[in-house]
A and B are shown apart, each in its own frame.
Chain A
Amino acid sequence: NAGVTQTPKFQVLKTGQSMTLQCAQDMNHNSMYWYRQDPGMGLRLIYYSASEGTTDKGEVPNGYNVSRLNKREFSLRLESAAPSQTSVYFCASRLAGDHGELFFGEGSRLTVL
């Protein structure tokens, strides 16, 4: 099983450029999440999708958009990248409910110059 797959794993952008981070899961999970992780700040939720067809803002949504394309795929788009968006981005999924384990992708390391 591939689990949660993110692409790309590394990306360097210039300020103002746009890009999309792709995420797919093959575990038939309902909920999917995008987090960013910065040194000393832990994981912060950007957007999440509780089920196919729904998306909601998390703690730090500004500068990002998401699309839940289908049950498997949840993409994160940076329309106009800024240096403050330099971070490690993790996609995650879980079945549902309070007790579901969260499975993470390997992360996407983004640098904005």
Chain B
Amino acid sequence: RKEVEQDPGPFNVPEGATVAFNCTYSNSASQSFFWYRQDCRKEPKLLMSVYSSGNEDGRFTAQLNRASQYISLLIRDSKLSDSATYLCVEPDSWGKLQFGAGTQVVVTP
């Protein structure tokens, strides 16, 4: 079983709307997570780090729910440029990073 699970989507979102999706993880001891963004045929790039309960950066909010072992990403006021695949990442105890398969978001005009 993959340790980091994501809904592959796609999530089709009208421009200006809000979209949220989750990522579940299996290691209850994990302290930090990352959200990466990957555009089509490009390399992943860091979007946000998630420590303790969560993090907010402009229109993006990431939250960590330790009891249920998931993290979420919420995008407010979606822009066409937000269309991408969002990868959830969990560091393991040895410094390796476990990637989810990604959630595709498509923002439509």
Determine the chain B residues whose CB is within 8 A of the CB of A44 once the complex forms.
99
Q: Mark B43-71, 1 if CB is under 8 A from A, else 0.
A: 11110010100000000000000000000
Please provide the chain B residues from 87 to 109 with a CB less than 8 Å away from any CB of chain A in the complex. 87, 89, 91, 94-97, 99-102
A107 to B45, CA, bound (A): 12
How extensive is the interface on chain A, given as a class?
20 to 34
Q: How many A-B residue pairs have CB under 8 A?
A: 51
B94 to chain A, nearest CB (A): 8
A74 contacts partner chain B, Cβ-Cβ < 8 Å: no
Residue of A nearest to B30 (CB): A98
A107 to B87, CA, bound (A): 16
Residues of B within 8 A of A (CB): 8, 31-32, 34, 36, 41-46, 49, 51, 87, 89, 91, 94-97, 99-102
Closest 9 A-B residue pairs measured CB to CB? A42-B101, A104-B43, A43-B99, A98-B91, A101-B46, A42-B99, A106-B43, A98-B32, A104-B44
